[in-house]
Amino acid sequence: MIKILFVCHGNICRSPIGEFVMKDIVSKNGLSEAFHIESSATHTDEIWNGVGSPIYPPAKEKLRENGIGTSDNELGVGAKRARLTRRDDYDRFDFIIGMDSANIRNLRNLFGGDPEGKVHKMLEYTDRGGDVADPWYTGNFDATWKDVSEGCHGLFRAILTDRRFAEDLRGCVGDDDFYGNEDPGRTYDDFPRG
């Protein structure tokens, strides 16, 4: 199973958008059984007495606008609550995706570094790099959606083309020769979009 953790400051905007965009992508590609996807926070700002806040309403609305969190594609959006990133998350996940430089710094501090190279910035998986726009300060959920969607699609493409994950994916796609030849018959830019 391929395990991905998306992380932002409060776990109510950017990282839940990442979590549910990625869940939507893998679901549309028939690969849900091959993935475990969560999101978490680097700070407790949105966690009160051990109970996390739900997804910020404008973020939830942006998901709905794009067909995620609807009655026919709920994916757990309604039940999502903010949670704090824990030190043991480093051992539990293959990819830990921070939304900005501050998240990456906080994650490396929490984990005592990144000895296995699991911590990455979301936009490393795009052709432009940088930080994901933070809608908490800008109110611009369109920019955040664009950044996170592009990053998730880039990450998904990177996983599909990485032979380390061949065994996890092989059983789900029903193709024993998924990685076995020069042209596996998949065009990585043609998968259904989140």
The CATH number for 35's domain is 3.40.50.2300
Nearest to 117 by CA among 90, 81, 138: 90
Task: Provide the H-helix boundaries in 29-162.
Answer: 57-65, 89-92, 101-111, 135-138, 141-160
Tell me, yes or no, if 175 is annotated catalytic.
no
Q: What is the DSSP letter of 193?
A: P
Tell me, yes or no, if 172 is annotated catalytic.
no
User: What is the count of structural domains for the chain?
Assistant: 1
Domain extent, residue 167, equals 2-190
Q: Find out whether 168 and 4 touch, Cβ atoms under 8 Å.
A: no
Catalytic residue among 14, 24, 89, 152: 14
What residue type is 81 in one-letter code?
R
Catalytic residue among 8, 24, 89, 100: 8
pLDDT in tens, 81-97: 999 999 999 999 999 99
pLDDT in tens, the chain (194 residues): 999 999 999 999 999 999 999 999 999 999 999 999 999 999 999 999 989 999 999 999 999 999 999 999 999 999 999 999 999 999 999 999 999 999 999 999 999 999 999 999 999 999 988 999 999 888 999 999 999 999 999 999 999 998 888 888 876 765 554 544 444 434 444 444 44
Contacts 24+ apart (CB under 8 A), 89-92: 89/5, 89/40, 90/116, 90/118, 92/3, 92/5
The H or E element that residue 96 is part of is strand 95-98
Tell me, yes or no, if 127 is annotated catalytic.
no
Q: What is the value of pTM for the model shown?
A: 0.90
What is the spatial distance between Cα 178 and Cα 14, in angstroms, rounded to a whole number?
Answer: 32
- Name the residue with tokens 């490396």: 108
- Coil/strand/helix, residue 34: helix
pLDDT at res. 170: 78
Catalytic residue among 24, 89, 100, 134: 134
Query: Is 31 exposed, middle or buried, given 0-12, 13-18 or 19+ CB atoms closer than 10 A?
Result: buried
Terminal Cα distance for the chain, rounded: 21
